[in-house]
């Protein structure tokens, strides 16, 4: 039976983990490779690096981090941030990423998703959907795609966009509520559910986890195949095993190997 | 065990380095210190290798074109696997290429070493998502040396899958293991000295390292 995945996500800037990872006894809390090894040992099902390096010229640092991680961790790795061209996908996959997460480039040109999927297969093309609720109280729920960390509206309806990129070959959607991101009040379940019901590919719920029940809700109520979280793991609030035990106790199928 | 060379075929398909690193670690943990892991596009080296691995990620037709584009490689693989009967392992699309043909987007001829077609996964439960992506357990159809020491079945270890197409072997005995995903999805095939896994052993943590070590010791 296929299991629900837990995916810790690390924000990486100039080759360093932003804010560090304050759990376990890492020699260097800012080293993404050290953090990746720790999550590998802790039973994470996949790992996600989100590169927020401002300059495109500094990609070499990220590639080095990816290749050192792939050499040490025998688990799936998704890398996102700043992917603009097909060659960006190729260099990340060759460095050792298993999947790439595409955000702005897919918004600007949905056919970019098709070109990536044709060349490398849908299985490695994740489209990151950053959405904000735009409907008012009492109106039917609707969400719009935002870029630039939630600052720039695009006018695109999130559900229609999810369908469009899936038709073009996205193999998975990473759905982040920009209303909930960092709020620790739980995923936007209605958004997660609306997108999961609209597409045939797996959906990863993201943005807003504050406690372990939020992870359960993302899957049970939101229909997500995987849950992504950052701060609850990085700052030692919960371990991955605690999260898995909690989700398993709630009746979800989890991988409890180790 | 005496010194051995394991050739991992490099034909431009992604993520070969993690496969090589996983083999190196599996060899080290199994105490196979005389094992040399080589990533190579040299047909001569592959034809003489003690063991051969064909990895592969991406679209079927694209992988087949990549393999055909390496001068002499298909002949070298055939020489190693069939004339010299060396242990051969295909991984993911590398496993699918062992089939008669792939039906992804277009009909593409495979190597026809494990007769059968590679067709779309079609889970009976419409709520199940495709690709089949993530960790699943292995249901064993017949005992196999590559699975030695690996806990299987619902309570067993998990393997990492990411695929939308699967191989349906014509000879039922070629299917060694499957996973349940709205029906049986072929997880592993084998015939004589040739084996293949749909899942990624190099991404499957403990299960993967044990399987790779088993391959390095396999005497079919």
Number of Cβ pairs < 8 A linking chain A and chain B: 118
User: Which of the four pLDDT bands, split at 50, 70 and 90, describes residue B104?
Assistant: confident
User: Which of the four pLDDT bands, split at 50, 70 and 90, describes residue A195?
Assistant: very high
pLDDT over 60 (residue A104) = yes
Backbone angles phi, psi at A100, to 5 degrees: -120, 145
Q: Which pLDDT score is estimated for A119?
A: 86
> Which residue in chain B is spatially nearest to A90 when comparing CA positions?
B14
> Which residue in chain B is spatially nearest to A116 when comparing CA positions?
B58
Q: How many residues does chain B have?
A: 220
Q: What are the b/e assignments for A25-60, b being 16+ CB within 10 Å?
A: ebeebbbbbbbbbbbbebbbbbbbbbbebeeeeebe
The rounded distance, in Å, linking the Cα atoms of A238 and B178 is 34
Question: Could you list the active site residues of B?
Answer: 92, 200, 202
Is the peptide bond between B35 and the residue preceding it cis, with omega within 30 degrees of 0?
Answer: no
Q: Which of A1, A75, A171 lies closest to B203 in CB terms?
A: A75
Q: Per residue in A105-150, pLDDT tens?
A: 999 999 999 999 988 889 999 999 999 999 999 999 999 999 887 8
- Quick check: ipTM above 0.85? yes
Q: Which of B137, B162, B202 lies closest to A123 in CB terms?
A: B162
> Which residue in chain B is spatially nearest to A41 when comparing CA positions?
B205
Question: Could you list the active site residues of A?
Answer: 11, 130
The gap from C-alpha A224 to its chain's centroid, in whole angstroms, comes to 12
* Contact flag B202-A74 (C-beta cutoff 8 Å): yes
Backbone angles phi, psi at A253, to 5 degrees: -80, 115
Residues of B whose CB is below 8 A from A70: 15, 17-18, 21
Tokens of B212: 């790779």
Task: Classify strands A5-13 and A47-51 as parallel, antiparallel or unpaired.
Answer: parallel
CA distance A136 to chain B (A): 30
In A82-201, alpha helices (H)? 86-95, 104-108, 111-120, 158-167, 189-198
The rounded distance, in Å, linking the Cα atoms of A48 and A99 is 9
* For range A183-188, the mean pLDDT: 94
The rounded distance, in Å, linking the Cα atoms of B195 and B120 is 21
User: Which of the four pLDDT bands, split at 50, 70 and 90, describes residue A21?
Assistant: low
Tell me the whole-structure pTM to 2 decimals. 0.95
Task: Classify strands A99-102 and A125-133 as parallel, antiparallel or unpaired.
Answer: parallel
Which of B50, B52, B16 lies closest to B34, judged by CA? B50
Longest Cα–Cα distance in chain B: 51
Q: Per residue in B144-200, pLDDT tens?
A: 999 999 999 999 999 999 999 999 999 999 999 999 999 999 999 999 999 999 999
Chain A interface residues (partner B, CB cutoff 8 A): 1-5, 40, 45, 67, 70-72, 74-76, 90, 93-99, 118-124, 171-172, 200-203, 225-226, 255, 257
CA distance B151 to chain A (A): 10
CA atoms within 13 A on the CB side of B40: 22
% of chain B with per-residue pLDDT over 90: 90
User: Is A21 within 8 Å of A15 (Cβ atoms)?
Assistant: no
Q: Which residues contact A152 (CB under 8 A, 6 or more apart)?
A: A146
Q: Which pLDDT score is estimated for A22?
A: 65
CA distance B83 to chain A (A): 32
Burial tier of A111 (Cβ tally within 10 Å: 0-12, 13-18, 19+): exposed
Tokens of A250: 């709630």
* Contact flag A75-B133 (C-beta cutoff 8 Å): no
The gap from C-alpha B178 to its chain's centroid, in whole angstroms, comes to 14
Residues of B whose CB is below 8 A from A162: none
């Amino acid at each position: 039976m296929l299991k629900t995945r837990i995916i810790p996500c690390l924000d990486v800037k100039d080759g360093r983990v932003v804010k560090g990872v304050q759990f376990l006894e890492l020699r260097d809390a800012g080293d993404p490779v050290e953090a990746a090894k720790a999550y590998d040992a802790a039973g994470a099902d996949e790992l996600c690096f989100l590169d927020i390096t401002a300059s495109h010229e500094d990609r070499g640092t990220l590639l080095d981090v990816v290749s050192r991680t792939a050499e040490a961790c025998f688990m799936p790795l998704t890398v996102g941030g700043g992917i603009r061209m097909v060659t960006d996908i190729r260099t990340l996959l060759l460095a050792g990423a298993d999947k790439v997460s595409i955000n702005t480039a897919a918004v600007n040109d949905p056919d970019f998703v098709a070109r990536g999927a044709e060349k490398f297969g849908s299985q490695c093309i994740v489209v990151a959907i950053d959405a904000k609720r735009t409907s008012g109280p009492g109106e039917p729920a609707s969400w719009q795609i935002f870029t630039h960390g939630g600052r720039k509206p695009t006018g695109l309806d999130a559900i229609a966009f999810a369908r469009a990129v899936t038709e073009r070959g996205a193999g998975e959607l990473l759905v982040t509520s920009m209303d909930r991101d960092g709020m620790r009040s739980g995923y936007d379940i209605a958004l997660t559910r609306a997108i999961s019901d609209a597409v045939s590919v797996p959906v990863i719920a993201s943005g807003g986890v504050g406690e372990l029940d939020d992870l359960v809700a993302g899957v049970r109520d939101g229909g997500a195949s995987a849950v992504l979280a950052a701060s609850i793991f990085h700052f030692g609030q919960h371990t991955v095993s605690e999260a898995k035990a909690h989700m398993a106790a709630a009746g979800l199928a989890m991988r409890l190997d180790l | 065990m005496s010194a051995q060379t394991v050739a991992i075929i490099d034909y431009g398909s992604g993520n070969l380095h993690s496969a090589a690193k996983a083999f190196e670690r599996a060899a080290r943990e199994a105490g196979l210190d005389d094992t040399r892991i080589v990533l190579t596009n040299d047909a001569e080296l592959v034809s003489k290798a003690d063991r051969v691995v064909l990895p592969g990620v991406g679209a079927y037709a694209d992988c087949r074109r990549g393999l055909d584009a390496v001068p002499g490689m298909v002949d070298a693989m055939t020489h190693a696997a069939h004339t010299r009967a060396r242990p051969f392992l295909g991984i993911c699309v590398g496993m699918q290429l062992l089939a008669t043909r792939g039906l992804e987007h277009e009909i593409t001829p495979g190597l026809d070493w494990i007769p059968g077609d590679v067709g779309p996964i079609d889970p009976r439960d419409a709520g199940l998502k495709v690709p089949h992506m993530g960790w699943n357990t292995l249901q064993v159809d017949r005992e196999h040396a590559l699975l030695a020491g690996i806990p299987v079945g619902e309570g067993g270890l998990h393997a990492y899958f990411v695929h939308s197409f699967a191989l349906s072997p014509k000879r039922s005995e070629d299917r060694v293991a499957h996973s349940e995903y709205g029906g049986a999805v072929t997880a592993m095939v084998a015939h004589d000295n040739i084996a293949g896994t749909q899942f990624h052993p190099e991404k499957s943590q403990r299960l993967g390292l044990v399987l790779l070590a088993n391959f390095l010791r396999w005497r079919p």
